[in-house]
A and B are shown apart, each in its own frame.
Chain A
Amino acid sequence: MIRLTDYAEVRFESSDADDLLSVLTQLQGQRFLSFLVSYGDELRLNLGEPIPFTSPRLRGRSRGAYVLGARASSWVVVGGATRLGAASDDVQVEGATTSRVEIATIETSRIITPEAYVVDVAVTPRNDGFAVMLKFSDQSVVLIDPRFDPDEPPDASDEPTGVEIADWELLTPHSRILRVGPGRRWSYVDSTRRPGG
């Protein structure tokens, strides 16, 4: 007997942690490409084959076939070979060797060895959501943990559309995007459909 997973199969509003992990197994073996920071100081982890950007402004640069986005969640990166670590500003890390730097620093930090590949993926219920942890072949670790701030106002927008923000997300090369949270629920849906289309 073997385990066979169809990474094109969509899921709506699931809370099944085991099934969530089965979706994430597609990351195993994917090579680290880069960290890129998106607007809003969002950390994005690019994995797999490089996909060139389409914008002339970004010509010559690329994202990964897989893009793991931390959205507004907390995150920690611990290097294996490099002995460096980094964390989002809401993670309490203090010490004589800790300094506060701009988030863009992580793009050139080489905390994770180039070409290191994912050897393990884990999902853990945390903070009324799901945390995800990736382990790489160079012993590096990436943890994304849903941010829970009791003083933060409810996730209701005062902007025109009021969309809900996932705790974290994964764009895949299978025309699917995994959206996890808020809370312990997730969806794995078509990434190519235009809203309202």
Chain B
Amino acid sequence: MGRKPDVRQVEEVALALRMTEAERIEFGYYIEDCKRHGDRGSKNDRGDFTWDELMRKGREFPGDDR
């Protein structure tokens, strides 16, 4: 499978949560960092995130400072 479905899903979550472009780009790094440090999704064996999991990540991003 190519990269496009995951890239598109991040864009759609950013759109749904009304992120600016800079926030969307940082959100992409944010969830990649989550995945690398063991906070993985349940979509597949690679630890990718489902739509609901990404939406939850989007709501908690960027954390207390928002």
Contact = CB atoms under 8 A, between A and B. Distances in A.
Contact of A39 (B6, B16, B19, B64): B6
Contacts of A40: 3-7, 9-10, 28
A18 interface: no
Given A90-B2, A104-B36, A57 B7 contact: no
Interface residues of A, number: 41
- Main SS at interface, chain A: loop
Interface size on B, as a range, is 35 or more
Given A40-B3, A57-B33, A191 B63 contact: no
Contact of A171 (B8, B15, B25, B49): B25
Interface of B: 2-12, 14-16, 18-23, 25-26, 28-36, 49, 51, 61-66
Interface of A: 36-42, 44, 53-58, 63, 67, 69, 71-72, 90, 104, 147, 149, 152, 155, 157, 159-163, 165, 171, 177, 191-197
Given A63-B26, A147-B4, A163-B8, 5 more contacts: A53-B62, A54-B62, A57-B30, A63-B25, A161-B12
